């Protein structure tokens, strides 16, 4: 001590020494008066790895007492850390889900008793597997983050059932502290808690004597600043206490979400939640307000609640007013999702104007307006008739199609060409006659039949000609080819040839037509043409197949 050494030549009668630990305010009232000649002072049972601050003043026989010297800092020796790491989980809610992350605080100096080199974190998953992470205080990593005195793992605690953590220094490690993770959103007999917030303190109190049990270890109180603000802290409270006080700087018009948990040997449960403000203000307007449905006498309103960061106080209710002087106060519970209100007993075909505003203890906020018009009676009846007509039309269409396309059934409402057993007559004289008898036949399209059925085929053969072909015979014993190859062809021969060709084709008929009226054969001959003669296969082609 420089100051004391300077006084030694002047034979100081005695010296006063005072000390404190670093961070303490003021100095202790008791002073040590040195009555020995070696001018030394010893601190009995100092805290390990603790910074102590000293000041000295002395007095000589011929001098007055000197001023206090400057502060001298001395660090005590290091030892094995004691106590347990104060850890908790930080759950972040999103629209889709909730993710939780492990967080913990630095050990106090009295617990660390040395420089903490790192933390050993062990995850125990629901399937029994374990995963260990060594968090170094001297190195950075994407696996963890450090904010002041609070540490946080960046990996989610999904599927993790419990966590344990211990801190270590160069001489040893603490006992592992264990945390059974609570199920997010699950409450055990929700109880009301009181939250009082000032700009310096946040006080939480509760009365849960009925929940006191032998396996209850402690309570945990946490608060979180309403997003997007940052701020999160927790405190572990003895089970015999019923209040907790957080100290700090708490902002005006800012929501602090407070939660109370009970910690038992094998589980952690959420008991209650509340919101507190240091200073209340009028809330902002709702983000959206519109009409979701309208009838003749009713209208359903839907709106999005005021975001937490813009509420400026606890929302007591949403107030809705109409231009007909009606007032509705809508509760804020439940406090998630869009809100709705149905206006009843409205007049048909009338315009309405509606206002909405959120209300806190400081009063209503800015209002939002929407307008709508109820439905007219006549217009409603018209759309009802249209709807009924469409339904009837669809039902008749389904019944008709079912009837007409059912196998082996005949529908009298559609032309015969739609049925499966009907042969394709679109290019023959029969189809021409159908077009006359059935006006709707023109809408039919040709349906390809891969297996046509020929009911009857009559062929008259003669011996092979020199060219190897067999020709169908006519009634007079000549073939069609003979007629076409004859040099002496007269107009009468052409007519007879055409007639004979038509007669040959008419011998191939459908079995269903054989059962028809034979009296129409004379009329069919009037509609015959060269189509059959040109397109019908020859006998050799048929026999060759």
Q: pLDDT value at position 314?
A: 87
Lowest mean pLDDT among 197-206, 249-258, 434-443: 434-443
| pLDDT tops 70 at residue 395 | yes
| pLDDT tops 80 at residue 164 | yes
User: Which domains are present in the chain?
Assistant: 2-75 (2.60.40.10), 87-180 (2.60.40.10), 194-276 (2.60.40.10), 289-375 (2.60.40.10), 378-443 (no CATH), 480-544 (no CATH)
Q: What are the start-end ranges of the E strands in 207-278?
A: 216-225, 232-238, 243-247, 256-264, 268-276
**CA-based R_g, the chain, Å:** 51
For residues 469 and 485, give the distance between their C-alpha atoms in angstroms, rounded to a whole number.
14
Q: pLDDT value at position 432?
A: 56
pLDDT in tens, 484-496: 444 454 555 544 5
H/E stretch holding 389 = helix 377-404
Q: pLDDT value at position 93?
A: 77
Say how many Å lie between the first and final Cα of the chain, rounded. 129
**Sequence-ordered alpha helix ranges (H) in 96-234:** 109-112
Tell how strand 118-125 and strand 160-168 pair up.
antiparallel
Q: pLDDT value at position 71?
A: 92
| pLDDT tops 90 at residue 355 | yes
- Contact 46/76 with Cβ under 8 angstroms? yes
For residues 115 and 480, give the distance between their C-alpha atoms in angstroms, rounded to a whole number.
120
For residues 175 and 107, give the distance between their C-alpha atoms in angstroms, rounded to a whole number.
12
Confidence of residue 501 (pLDDT cuts 50, 70, 90): very low
Q: Token digits for 59?
A: 């007095």
- Contact 170/117 with Cβ under 8 angstroms? yes
pLDDT in tens, 251-265: 888 999 999 998 887
- Contact 299/342 with Cβ under 8 angstroms? yes
Lowest mean pLDDT among 10-14, 214-218, 286-290: 10-14
For residues 331 and 335, give the distance between their C-alpha atoms in angstroms, rounded to a whole number.
9
What is the residue-averaged pLDDT of the chain? 77
pTM above threshold 0.75: no
Q: pLDDT value at position 452?
A: 57
For residues 130 and 163, give the distance between their C-alpha atoms in angstroms, rounded to a whole number.
10
Mean pLDDT of 289-305: 92
Q: pLDDT value at position 385?
A: 80
Confidence of residue 458 (pLDDT cuts 50, 70, 90): low
For residues 88 and 105, give the distance between their C-alpha atoms in angstroms, rounded to a whole number.
9
Lowest mean pLDDT among 22-26, 104-108, 181-185, 247-251: 181-185
Q: pLDDT value at position 523?
A: 47
Confidence of residue 527 (pLDDT cuts 50, 70, 90): very low
Q: Token digits for 224?
A: 């979180």
């Amino acid at each position: 001590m420089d100051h004391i050494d300077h006084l030694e030549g002047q034979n100081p009668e005695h010296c006063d020494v005072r000390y404190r630990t670093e961070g303490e305010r003021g100095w202790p009232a008791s002073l040590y008066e040195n009555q020995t000649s070696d001018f030394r002072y010893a601190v009995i049972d100092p805290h390990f790895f603790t910074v102590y601050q000293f000041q000295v003043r002395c007095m000589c026989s011929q001098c007055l007492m000197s001023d206090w010297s400057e502060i001298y800092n001395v660090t005590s020796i290091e030892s094995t850390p004691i106590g347990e790491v104060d850890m908790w989980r930080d759950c972040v809610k999103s629209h889709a889900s909730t993710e939780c992350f492990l967080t913990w605080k630095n050990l106090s100096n009295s617990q660390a008793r040395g420089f903490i080199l790192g933390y050993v974190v062990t995850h125990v998953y629901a399937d029994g597997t374990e995963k260990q992470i060594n968090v170094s205080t001297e190195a950075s990593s994407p696996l963890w983050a450090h904010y002041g005195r609070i540490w946080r793992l960046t990996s989610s605690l999904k599927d993790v059932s419990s966590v344990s953590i211990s801190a270590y220094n160069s001489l040893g490690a603490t006992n592992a502290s264990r945390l059974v993770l609570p199920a997010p959103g699950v409450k055990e007999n929700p109880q009301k808690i009181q939250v009082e917030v000032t700009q310096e303190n946040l006080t939480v109190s509760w009365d849960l004597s009925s929940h006191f049990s032998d396996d209850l270890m402690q309570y945990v109180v946490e608060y979180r600043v309403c997003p997007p603000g940052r701020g999160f802290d927790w405190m572990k409270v003895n089970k015999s206490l019923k209040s907790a006080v957080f100290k700090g700087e708490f902002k005006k018009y800012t929501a602090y979400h407070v939660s109370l948990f009970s910690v038992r040997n094998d589980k952690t449960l959420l008991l209650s939640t509340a919101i507190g403000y240091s200073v209340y203000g009028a809330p902002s307007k709702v983000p959206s307000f519109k009409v979701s449905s309208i009838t003749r006498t009713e209208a359903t309103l839907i709106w999005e609640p005021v975001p937490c960061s813009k509420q400026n106080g606890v929302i007591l209710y949403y107030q809705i007013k109409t231009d007909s002087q009606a007032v509705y106060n809508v509760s804020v519970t439940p406090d998630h999702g869009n809100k709705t209100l149905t206006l009843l007993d409205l007049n048909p075909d009338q315009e309405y104007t509606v206002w909405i505003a959120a209300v806190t203890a400081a009063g209503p906020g800015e209002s939002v307006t929407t307008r709508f018009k109820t439905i007219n009676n006549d217009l409603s009846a018209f759309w009802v008739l249209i709807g009924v007509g469409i339904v009837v039309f669809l039902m008749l269409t389904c019944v008709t199609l079912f009837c007409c396309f059912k196998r082996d059934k005949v529908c009298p409402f559609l032309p015969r060409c739609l049925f499966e057993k009907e042969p394709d007559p679109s290019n023959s004289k029969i189809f021409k006659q159908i077009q006359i008898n059935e006006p709707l036949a023109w809408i039919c399209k040709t349906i390809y039949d891969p297996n046509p059925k020929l009911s009857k085929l009559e062929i008259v053969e003669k011996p092979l000609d020199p060219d190897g072909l067999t020709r169908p015979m006519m009634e007079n014993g000549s073939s069609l080819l003979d007629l076409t190859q004859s040099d002496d062809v007269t107009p009468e021969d052409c007519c007879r040839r055409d007639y004979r060709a038509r007669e040959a084709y008419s011998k191939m008929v459908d079995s269903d037509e054989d059962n028809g009226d034979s009296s129409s054969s004379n009329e069919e001959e009037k509609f015959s043409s060269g189509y059959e003669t040109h397109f019908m296969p020859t006998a050799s082609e048929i026999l060759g197949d």
